[in-house]
Structure 1
Amino acid sequence: MSAAPMVRTVPAMSRLELRPLAAADLPACGTLLADRHRRHRVAQPLLSARFEDPAVALAELTAAYETPDSSGVVAYRAGVPVGFVLGAPKPSPLWGPNIWVEAAGLAVTDAEVMRDLYAVAATRWVDEGRTAHYVVVPAHDAGLVRAWFRLGFGQQHAHAIRPAARLGTGTPAGLSVRRATRADIPVLAQLDVELPLHQGLSPTFSAGRVGTVEESLAEWAADFDDPAYTTFVAESNGRVIGAAVGCALEQSSGHLSLARPDHAGFLGFAAVFPDARGIGAGRALGAAVIDWAVSTGFDSVVTDWRVTNLLSSRTWPALGFAETFLRLHRLIR
């Protein structure tokens, strides 16, 4: 944790004192975080109950505080902490000159306080040249989401969960779904490239790198037999038209900290060729991963999507996935 901005007192009747987040503030802020998560679980009981324990929430907050180049602000009213925000940069060039407020990086007793916290914290972030701001916010808290929207943020990504329970719906006529075999590797490699190509189109316009089929072929050949991942393919008229991959959520680099449910399966990848979309292949593949998660004994299934990806943002909620966290984004010019 590096140096932070100077103390600031909000004028008028608020009597809100804003100051750099310090190690001494962490226990009280950990309690705020645990309280936030307790309220969140009323709306989303599939989230982990562990983080309702202030000691566990404090451990997550402390880890975020100790992230290199982190900085944050805490708000006090009448000597009592009423909120904090804490961010840190990610080294990947994909995100630009960035700062990230992850799931353990914010909590307030009053959503409006978050706007004051950000105003002070962002002063430093922008002074450091970090102009791409990302924040992961509990989806159920409409007031808090609106506070971020009123700071110029927009929704970029959704994290979602559903119970590990079979859907009980059949595969559309003309489609079949089965486990992938090594003979499918060439088409799996093509589908690997198809997803980032789709994400790069309107209205998503993702800047993510599009790899080559040759790179994907090598990766599939090396990793196909890894028991940590289960791959399904969808066929129509004897042709593989799509694929999906399921695994334990622990295999994912996302859904971290308070956003990571216990003992959850993960729908980590799904893609369908453009000429085969609209016949239910994506839904059938998602259902196959959900059924696999049930058979494996997971308690829930998690996935995520870009909200500007019209296909995934419609298909996954239709399969019963409910938003848990929203990734919001602001780019400052």
Structure 2
Amino acid sequence: MVREFQSGDLGAAARLLAERQGRHRVRHPLLPAEYEDPKVALVEVTAAWETEGASGAVLVEGGEVTGYLLGAPKSSPVWGENVWVERAGHAVREPEKVRDLYAVAATKWVAEGKTAQYALVPDDPELVDAWFRLGFGGQHAHAVMPAPSEPLPARPGVMVRRAGRGDIQVLAELDLVLPRHQGLAPTFSSGEMPTLEEALADWEESIDDQDYATFVAESNGKVIGSSIGCSLEKSSAHSGLAQPDNAGFLAYAAVFPEARGAGAGRALGEAVINWAAGVGYTSVVTDWRVTNLLSSRAWPRLGFVQTFHRLHRLIGH
């Protein structure tokens, strides 16, 4: 039987989420172990349930809750009328049963006009396949790698160094490169595009912030790309179940279009990885649009392994 989620289901949902985290960590042991404790998992499930506008469903078999699904909208002009199933928003004993849960939960979502739907799904092939057979497709990847014990070697032809105040102009220009690239085929992202003036003002204020490590790549004495590293705790997109202990974050990387193909992007990624290892982080996390042909090929080649899939469905199209 599938019925609406109720507050009394939180304990059972937390136990299911803790079980899911245990299975997930078999594939990805860098993910946090504490969420295998139902008491800790309960914090995440409760937060999902208490999000404004949250609703969902539970699966009851033989008097026991064996699956749940929770979603809630996000207020953003970019996403449209939407609902998000976050990392703690679902767990099932049998992957196929997420389809039954969705059939009940999504009836309410669609009736409310929430036709842009997103789900953050663990890297479990059977579970991802079940979501795919609900009409969802891959949109974004979240990934992790262990920090190397030895520095990755420099790449010939590209010099990477720490950025300084003299680089503010070119750093601001590079801030526009990635969102502009994401708006092109085959990604077609509708994300907001910053202005050069906004980027300049931001760099003027933040260039000396010691919480961030900014690198630039040079070729023939000219800056052609940049990357940024920081603590993963700076990223709200990788909190909770997706936040490895003591992790650094490859937060940004971009190379001017005319300079691509010479290895600058990989060199910039490696600079952040080496920085993270050098300051004591034991793992490094990043994310990318899976339709971005450049990042979806470059980052796995550096050793990043996908842990969560952000899936998307647009109802009625």
Question: TM-score w.r.t. structure 2 length?
Answer: 0.98
CA distance, structure 2, for counterparts of residue 77 and residue 172 of structure 1: 57
> Where does structure 1 differ by over 6 angstroms across 4 or more consecutive aligned residues?
none
The answer to whether 1:128 aligns with 2:138 is no
Q: Unaligned regions of 5+ residues in structure 2, if any?
A: none
The answer to whether 1:258 aligns with 2:241 is yes
State the secondary structure of the residue aligned to 1:81: strand
- From 215, 218, 225, the equivalent of 1:232 is 215
Contact 1:235-1:241 within 8 A present in 2 as well: yes
- From 41, 49, 53, the equivalent of 1:65 is 49
Contact 2:32-2:244 within 8 A present in 1 as well: yes
The answer to whether 1:45 aligns with 2:32 is no
CA distance, structure 2, for counterparts of residue 207 and residue 193 of structure 1: 14
- From 197, 200, 203, the equivalent of 2:183 is 200
Q: How many residues align?
A: 316
Contact 1:176-1:235 within 8 A present in 2 as well: yes
Name the CA shift for 1:128/1:221 in 2 (closer, same or farther; >3 Å): same
The answer to whether 1:163 aligns with 2:146 is yes
CA-CA distance at 1:308 after TM superposition: 0.3
Contact 1:95-1:132 within 8 A present in 2 as well: yes
Task: Encode CA deviations 1:145-194: one digit per residue, 9 max, x unaligned.
Answer: 00000000000000000001156543332210000000000000000001
- The equivalent of 2:82 in structure 1 is 98
Deviates more, 1:116-125 or 1:170-179: 170-179
The answer to whether 1:145 aligns with 2:117 is no
State the secondary structure of the residue aligned to 1:126: helix
CA distance, structure 2, for counterparts of residue 268 and residue 151 of structure 1: 31
**What amino acid sits opposite 1:122 in the alignment?**
A
CA-CA distance at 1:62 after TM superposition: 0.5
- The equivalent of 2:259 in structure 1 is 276
CA distance, structure 1, for counterparts of residue 97 and residue 150 of structure 2: 42
- The equivalent of 1:12 in structure 2 is none
Q: Unaligned regions of 5+ residues in structure 1, if any?
A: 1-16
Name the CA shift for 1:296/1:189 in 2 (closer, same or farther; >3 Å): same
State the secondary structure of the residue aligned to 2:9: helix
CA distance, structure 2, for counterparts of residue 218 and residue 243 of structure 1: 17
CA-CA distance at 1:262 after TM superposition: 1.7
> RMSD over aligned Cα, in angstroms?
0.9
